[in-house]
């Protein structure tokens, strides 16, 4: 149980393109989803917390107009990197948790490797 699917796995695109990444909880309802970014040999960096039906909460230093997050249902959150540039190239990972209890862990998707040329 607690499977999180993330799509696509790899994206290579030109500078200036917008890229959408989907994160789905397949066998549970996720009231809260999280988006992380990880650069090579560095730790996870939380970008934003996404609650179903409300605006995402962004961490300090993360541009909300550049990284658009939508959490329209209890099983789907999307991250759109708008007008991507080479410095946005990174490993983006979503996670989701089952709602209702503070003891629930986060379950991670497989991640999306984004390369901007």
Partner 1 sequence: QKEVEQNSGPLSVPEGAIASLNCTYSDRGSQSFFWYRQYSGKSPELIMSIYSNGDKEDGRFTAQLNKASQYVSLLIRDSQPSDSATYLCAVDMGSNYKLTFGKGTLLTVNP
Contact set with partner 1 (CB under 8 A): 6, 32, 34, 43-44, 46, 49, 51, 57, 93, 97, 102-111
What does the alpha-carbon distance between residue 115 and residue 90 come to, in Å, rounded to a whole number? 7
Q: How far is the CB of 16 from partner 1 (least distance, A)?
A: 27
Of 14 and 102, CB closest to partner 1: 102
Q: Are 46 and 36 in contact (CB under 8 A)?
A: yes
Of 14 and 41, CB closest to partner 1: 41
Of 26 and 46, CB closest to partner 1: 46
What does the alpha-carbon distance between residue 41 and residue 31 come to, in Å, rounded to a whole number? 30
What does the alpha-carbon distance between residue 30 and residue 72 come to, in Å, rounded to a whole number? 11
Q: How far is the CB of 47 from partner 1 (least distance, A)?
A: 11
The token pair that represents 13 in the structure block: 């695109």
């Amino acid at each position: 149980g607690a499977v999180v699917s993330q799509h696509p796995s790899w994206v290579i695109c030109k500078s200036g393109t917008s890229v959408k990444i989907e994160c789905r909880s397949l066998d549970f309802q996720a009231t809260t989803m999280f988006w992380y970014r990880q650069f090579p040999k560095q730790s996870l960096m939380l970008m934003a917390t996404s609650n179903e039906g409300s605006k995402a909460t962004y961490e300090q230093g993360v541009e909300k107009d550049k990284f658009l997050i939508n959490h329209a249902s209890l099983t789907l959150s999307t991250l759109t990197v708008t007008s991507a540039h080479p410095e946005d190239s990174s490993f983006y990972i979503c996670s989701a948790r089952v709602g209702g209890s503070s003891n629930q862990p986060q379950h991670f998707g497989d991640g999306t490797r984004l390369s901007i040329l």
